[in-house]
Amino acid sequence: MDTHPAIREVIELHDFFQAWLTAALPNDEITFARFAETTDPSFTLITPDGTVLDHAAVSGWIRSAHGSRLGSRLWTTDHAVRYADAGCVLVTYHEWQTRDGVTTCRISSALFAAGDAAPNGLLWRHVHETWIATG
């Protein structure tokens, strides 16, 4: 069964985050390009607490967070394409994180736009995260 490119992108970018945050990848521009080349300049993130972050804020945080979560784990599940046409794709997924023995989960909606130069042909345009109770 083929996986939709948007689902592949969610999985691959979160695998990158896992490796970046735990310093399993080198801290250099070539490696960081995996994130930089897949986010649209107008990208926005709404965090679970309602903070709206622009591309510069998210990119700066991720760039500076290399190796900041040694021993942590990050993964995604429950991926679903909710809408797709020639120009955009809307997906939802659960993002799980374990840090210091505590596991949290958030449900995320992500909007992608076509981006031929991006690894999976899609650019991240918008993400909205909401906490999910895990216990």
pLDDT, average across residues 37-42? 95
Q: Which CATH class is domain 5-132?
A: alpha beta
CA distance 11 to 15: 6
Write down the pLDDT at residue 2. 62
Domain-by-domain residue ranges, the chain? 5-132
Give, as one character, the DSSP assignment of residue 2: P
Residues 76-127 pLDDT 10s: 999 999 999 999 999 999 999 999 999 999 999 999 999 988 989 999 999 9
Sheet holding 122-132, edge to edge: 52-54, 39-46, 122-132, 102-114, 88-99, 73-84
Q: What is the pTM of this model?
A: 0.94
Query: Residues near 71 by Cβ (< 8 Å), separated by ≥ 6?
Result: 22, 99
Residues 49-72 pLDDT 10s: 999 999 999 999 999 999 999 999
**Model confidence at 134, in pLDDT bands (50, 70, 90)?**
confident
